[in-house]
């Protein structure tokens, strides 16, 4: 990752805050609404991002492996108050990444060991793209901040060919000739804007 640590942490804070803003905008009758993510409701989407945040302290702060954490975060992590569950998990993830020396650590992910800064970039990417998914699902402003879009494009574009092969992303969509940076990013991630 070419960015220096403070700006990466700033982008992470921005992405967390943006997703949190959308989570807080979900109305009570929208939790079962569909999202652009195939087979995911709003609750499923927020649950996915909440689970990702729950992993951060274990992996970044504690040096755990995916095997040692096992199925600790499987199932419904949202409980009766999805917003509070998100807020708690997000605060813990933010704190873990901001601890002194956190970005110098090695993180043990399912595909192997990597540096914490790379992992942080993955988290920013997921938060940003899923903010758009959640925004579309609940009918709020879908615009993403330009610096965040630019950061995520820088993270994703070098690996574009592998995205679909991973099975985690839909095939890329050809952007229109006049597409802006956000549309190009979302199309690359398989979203139809």
Q: How does residue 166 score in pLDDT terms, banded at 50, 70 and 90?
A: low
pLDDT score for 88: 98
If you average pLDDT over residues 127-132, what whole number do you get? 96
Q: What is the pLDDT of residues 133-150, one digit of tens each?
A: 999 999 999 999 999 999
Contact 144, 132 (CB under 8 A): yes
The pTM score is: 0.92
pLDDT band at 87 (very low <50, low <70, confident <90, very high): very high
pLDDT at 168: 62
Separation between Cα atoms, residue 48 and residue 56, nearest integer Å: 13
Q: What is the pLDDT of residue 79?
A: 96
Q: Which tokens sit at 29?
A: 């009758």
Strands, DSSP E only, in 94-136? 106-109, 112-115
Pseudo-torsion of CA 87, 93, 98, 101, nearest 10°?
A: 170
């Amino acid at each position: 990752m070419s960015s220096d640590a403070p700006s990466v942490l700033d982008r992470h804070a921005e992405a967390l805050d943006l997703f949190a803003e959308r989570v807080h905008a979900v109305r009570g009758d929208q939790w079962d609404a569909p999202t652009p993510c195939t087979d995911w409701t709003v609750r499923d989407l927020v649950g996915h991002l909440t689970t990702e945040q729950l992993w951060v302290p274990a992996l970044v702060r504690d040096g755990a492996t995916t095997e040692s954490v096992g199925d600790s975060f499987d199932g419904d992590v949202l409980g009766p108050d999805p917003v509070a569950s998100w807020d708690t998990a997000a605060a813990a993830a933010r704190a873990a990444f901001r601890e002194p020396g956190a970005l110098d650590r090695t993180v043990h992910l399912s595909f192997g060991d990597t540096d914490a800064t790379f992992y942080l970039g993955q988290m920013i990417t997921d938060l940003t793209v899923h903010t758009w998914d959640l925004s579309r699902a609940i009918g709020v402003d879908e615009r993403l901040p330009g610096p965040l879009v630019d950061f995520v494009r820088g993270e994703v574009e070098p690996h574009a060919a592998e995205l679909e092969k991973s099975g985690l992303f839909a095939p890329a969509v050809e952007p229109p000739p006049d597409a802006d940076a956000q549309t190009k990013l979302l199309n690359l991630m398989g979203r139809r804007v």
